[in-house]
């Protein structure tokens, strides 16, 4: 699966030179499912997994809906966007982890 994602992303991101990293994690624990970075340094994923855990805790304290949580951080030379990918569980259904994608651009 990782090879397929890496190859697909390489083809797509060749056209987006500002894309620096993409991380797929599982919330609320911030477990890493997959990551890609333009400089091939997987360490970036650990920081974004920690960011997702911290954002999850903060948004839960604010009472934000789990299905609509997203995060956007900006700096002078970078943007970080975080969005959930999976759908809401069925009413009364079991709780399941949610997939979270983090994208870093310049």
pLDDT tens, per residue, the chain with 106 residues? 566 666 666 666 666 778 888 888 887 677 788 888 877 776 777 777 777 778 878 888 888 877 677 888 899 998 988 888 766 566 666 666 678 888 888 8
What is the dihedral sign for C-alpha 74, 80, 84, 85? positive
Q: Given this model, what pLDDT does residue 40 score?
A: 73
- Indicate the pTM of the whole model: 0.72
Place of tokens 């995060």: 71
CA angle 49, 54, 55 (to 5 degrees): 95
CB proximity list for 44: less than 8 A, separation 6 or greater = 21, 23, 35, 37, 104
**Could you tell me where the DSSP H helices lie in the chain?**
2-13, 43-61
What is the percentage of the chain residues whose pLDDT exceeds 70?
Answer: 70
Looking at the DSSP bridge assignments, the partners of residue 27 are: 98
């Amino acid at each position: 699966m990782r090879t397929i994602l890496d190859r697909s992303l390489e083809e797509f991101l060749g056209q987006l030179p500002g894309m620096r990293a993409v991380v797929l994690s599982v919330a609320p624990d911030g477990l890493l499912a997959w990551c890609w970075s333009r400089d091939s340094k997987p360490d970036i994923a650990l920081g974004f997994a920690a960011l997702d855990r911290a954002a999850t805790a903060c948004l839960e304290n604010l009472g934000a809906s789990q299905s609509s949580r997203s995060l956007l951080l900006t700096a002078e030379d970078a943007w970080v966007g975080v969005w959930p990918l999976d759908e809401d569980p069925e009413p009364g259904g079991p709780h399941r982890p949610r997939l979270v994608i983090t994208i870093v651009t310049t």
